[in-house]
Chains A and B, each alone.
Chain A
C-alpha cells in the first residue's frame, strides 16, 4: 500500500522565483491496483512520479510506502528503498548496450548483494513473467527490437519483487501494435497481483488501467475507478 498525503513540491527558479509543481496532492493506492496517472506536460505528473518512485522528496507532506514514511529519507536510504521496493520501466528502455539480456535483468541485484547462485534463478523467473522468449536471453540488448527491449526492462523491474512497478510512458517509443502487447503484459502482471502505476498523457494507453487519476496544474483533477469489464481489450 502506498499513500501520499497533501504533498507539495516547490522548485527554486532563477532570481528567487518559486514554481509549485505539486500543490497538495493526496493519493492512496492499494496493493494490486492498476493506476494510470494522466495529465498534459507541465501538469506535475512527472514530479508526482519522481516522488512515488523515491527519486525525489516532497517539499511538504508525507509519503508512506508500505507504512514507512520515506519523505524525509537521505539519498542513500532512498536508493535502498528504490532497489528493494520500486521497479522502473522507462520510455527509452534504458538498457545497458553491449550487455546481454541476462546482465541487464540482473543489474539491480548487483546493488542488493544477492548471491550469484540465486541471481540467475530470479532472472529466469522475471524474464518468464515479462514473456520474453528464451532464445533471446543470451543476446546483447542492442540486438533486440523495441518491444523485446521493453520486455527486458519489465523483467529488470520485476526481479526484486517490488511493491510497485512504475512505468513512465512505457509505450512512447513503440508502435501502436507493440505498445498494445506491452500493455497486455502489464494487465497480466496486474492480474497476478502486481501493483502498477502507469504515467502517460495518452488516453488510449490510460484506458488499460483500472483507475485513472488526472493531474492538472499540480492538483488532482479527477480520480475514477473503471468497471472490471472496461479495461480488457
Chain B
C-alpha cells in the first residue's frame, strides 16, 4: 500500500464519521490546551517574579545580619541580629574594589497616620544613594539628600501603595503634606513611582526616611538591618561577594566562615531559589493537565476499538480483496495518529487563545513556550500511536472469513 493511498483512506474514514471524529478529537484538544495553558501560567508566574526581582537591580548584593542575640541555646530571628554597623558599611565602600556604591538600611514596621487615614507599613531608613541602587524612581517631589540624613531631618518619601492608602488612589499634590510615623510628624518631600507587584514584599508598600532619623528617632539603635551593595558590573558579582564576605569576617574577628554572623546574598541566589519554586509549580500544574491528556488518549482507544468492531465487515472485505495485515493495521494506526495530531493542532491553538485571554482579561501573566508546544505535539502523536496500536492489531489479526460473516 502506497503512502498516498494510506493518507487518502485515512482522510476518507475520518470524514465519513465527522461527528464522532470531532468528539474524539475534543478529548485531545482539551488535554493539550490544558497542558499549554497550565505551563504558560507557571512560566508566566516565573517570568513576573523574576522580572520583579531583576527590577530591584541585578547587580545588587544584599548583606544581612545573622541570628539575633542568643541567650544560651535559644537563637534569635535570622536577620534580627545587630552585627552590621555603620563602620562595616564605610569599610565596604572604602576597601572593596569594584563596588559602585553601598547604602545602609534600618527597617521597621510602624503605624503611619495622615489625617483620618492610617496604615501599618514598612519604614525604611536609608541614604541618598538608595534610589539609584534599588531602581526607585521618584515620580513627584524628590528623594532626601545627605544633608537631610546628617541633620536627622523628619522628611519622608512615600511608596505608591502608601500614598493610595493615606491620601486616596493616585492622589496628587502630596508633597508638603504631613504624616505621623509612630507618633512623630514627618514632612512628605516625594512620592515614588509604582514598581508593580503585589502581596508579600510589595516594593510599593514602603516609606523611605533618612537613615540617621530612623536609627535615632525610631529604633534607637545605630546597627543596620541590611547593607545594599551595587557592583560595577555583573561579571564582578562573585568576586565582590567573596571580598565583602572576607572583609566582614575579618572585621568581626570570625575565622570559621560557617560561624559568620551575617549573610551576603546576591540577586542571583534569590533568583535561583524562586526559579526552583516556580519550576516545581509549573511541573505540578502540567502533571494535572497531563492527566486530562491521558483521559483523552483513552477516549481515542475507546473510539478506535468501537470503530474496529463496527467496521468488521469492511475489514473483512479489504482483506478479501487483497489487503495485507500490515495494510489494515497501518490504516487504523494512521487514523488514530491523524485524529490525535489534529487534536494537538487545535489544542495548541486553543491553548494560545486561552493564555492570551488570561493575560489580557485577567491581567495574570502567562508565557506560552515553544518547548510546551513541541511537547504537546509529540505527546499527542505518541498517544495516537500508543492508544491506536492495540485496536490496529486487533483489526489486522481478524480472520477475513469471520470478519465477512460478522453481522
Binding site for B on A (CB under 8 A): 50, 53, 55-56, 75-76, 79-80, 82-84, 88, 90, 92, 94, 96-99, 103, 107-108, 110-113, 116, 156
The stretch of B40-48, B190-198, B274-282, B312-320 in contact with A is B312-320
Given A55-B401, A90-B404, A96-B314, are A112 and B325 neighbors across the interface (CB < 8 Å)? no
Which residues of B line the A interface, CB within 8 A? 1-2, 4-5, 9, 12, 16, 313-314, 316-327, 400-401, 404
Residue among B9, B324, B400 making CB contact with A76, cutoff 8 Å: B324
Are B400 and A107 in contact, with the CB atoms below 8 A?
A: no
Q: Is there contact, CB below 8 Å, between B319 and A50?
A: no
CB A45 to nearest CB in B, in angstroms, measures 14
Contact A80 B324 (CB under 8 A): yes
Q: Report the bound CA distance from A21 to B193 in whole Å.
A: 95
Q: What distance in Å separates the Cβ of B199 from its nearest Cβ neighbour in chain A?
A: 59
The 10 lowest CB-CB distance pairs between A and B, nearest first, are A83-B322, A111-B322, A108-B321, A94-B317, A79-B324, A110-B5, A76-B324, A98-B16, A82-B322, A88-B320
Which of B2, B16, B313, B319 is close to A113, meaning CB atoms less than 8 Å apart? Answer: B2
Checking B324, B326, B400 against A55 with a beta-carbon cut-off of 8 angstroms, the contacting residue is: B400
Task: Give the residues in chain B near A76, CB-CB below 8 Å.
Answer: 324-326
The 8 Å CB contact of A50, one of B324, B325, B326, B401, is B401
A94–B324 touching, CB < 8 Å? no
Determine if B400 and A111 form an interchain contact, defined as CB atoms under 8 angstroms apart.
no
- Which residues of chain B have C-beta atoms less than 8 A from A116's C-beta? 4
Roughly how many angstroms separate A56 CA and B402 CA in the complex, as a whole number?
A: 11
CB-based contact B313/A94 at 8 Å? yes
**When chains A and B are docked, how far (Å) is the Cα of A88 from the Cα of B317?**
9
Classify the interface of chain B: helix, strand, loop or mixed: helix
B1 touching A110 by the CB < 8 A rule?
Answer: yes
A56 and B321 form a contact (CB under 8 A): no
Which of B16, B314, B316, B323 meets A111, CB within 8 Å? B323
> Quick one: given A75-B325, A76-B325, A79-B324, are A107 and B12 in contact (CB under 8 Å)?
no
Q: Which residues of A contact B316 (CB under 8 A)?
A: 94
A107 close to B321 (CB less than 8 A): yes
Please give the distance in Å from A100's CB to the nearest CB on chain B: 10
What is the distance, in angstroms, from A81's C-beta to the closest C-beta of chain B?
A: 8
Q: Can you offer 27 A-B residue contacts whose CB atoms are under 8 A? A: A75-B325, A76-B325, A76-B326, A79-B319, A79-B323, A79-B324, A80-B322, A82-B321, A83-B322, A94-B314, A98-B16, A99-B12, A99-B16, A107-B318, A107-B321, A108-B321, A110-B5, A110-B9, A111-B1, A111-B318, A111-B321, A111-B322, A111-B323, A111-B324, A111-B327, A113-B2, A156-B321
B9 nearest in chain A by CB position? A110
Complex interface: chain A residues within 8 A of B5 (CB): 110
Chain A residues near B317 (CB, 8 Å)?
A: 90, 94, 96
B12 to chain A: which residues have CB within 8 Å? 99, 103
**What is the minimal beta-carbon distance from A82 to any residue of chain B, in angstroms?**
5
**Interfacial chain B residues near A113, Cβ < 8 Å:** 1-2
CB-defined contacts of A82 to chain B, threshold 8 Å: 320-322
* B contact residues around A88 at 8 Å (CB): 320-321
Residues from chain B with Cβ under 8 Å of A97 in the complex: 16
Bound together, the chains give a CA A55 to CA B326 distance in angstroms of 17
Return chain B residues, CB-CB under 8 Å to A50: 401
- In the assembled complex, the CB of A84 is this many whole angstroms from the nearest CB of chain B, namely 7
Residues of B within 8 A of A110 (CB): 1, 5, 9
Known: A110-B1, A110-B5. A56 touches B401 (CB 8 A): yes
- Least CB distance from B350 to A in Å reads 29
Residues in A with CB closer than 8 Å to B404 are 90, 94
Return the chain B residue nearest A90 by Cβ: B404
User: Contacts A94-B317, A96-B314: A112 and B322 contacting too (C-beta < 8 A)?
Assistant: yes
Residue in A closest to B407 when the chains form the complex, CB atoms: A92
- Beyond the given pairs A110-B1, A113-B2, 20 more chain A to chain B contacts, judged by CB atoms under 8 angstroms and listed by A's residue number, are A53-B320, A56-B401, A75-B324, A76-B325, A79-B322, A79-B325, A79-B327, A82-B320, A83-B321, A88-B321, A90-B404, A94-B317, A99-B16, A107-B318, A108-B321, A110-B5, A110-B9, A111-B318, A111-B324, A116-B4
A99 to B8, CA, bound (A): 12
- Tell whether, in the assembled complex, residue A55 and residue B1 are in contact, meaning their CB atoms are under 8 Å apart: no
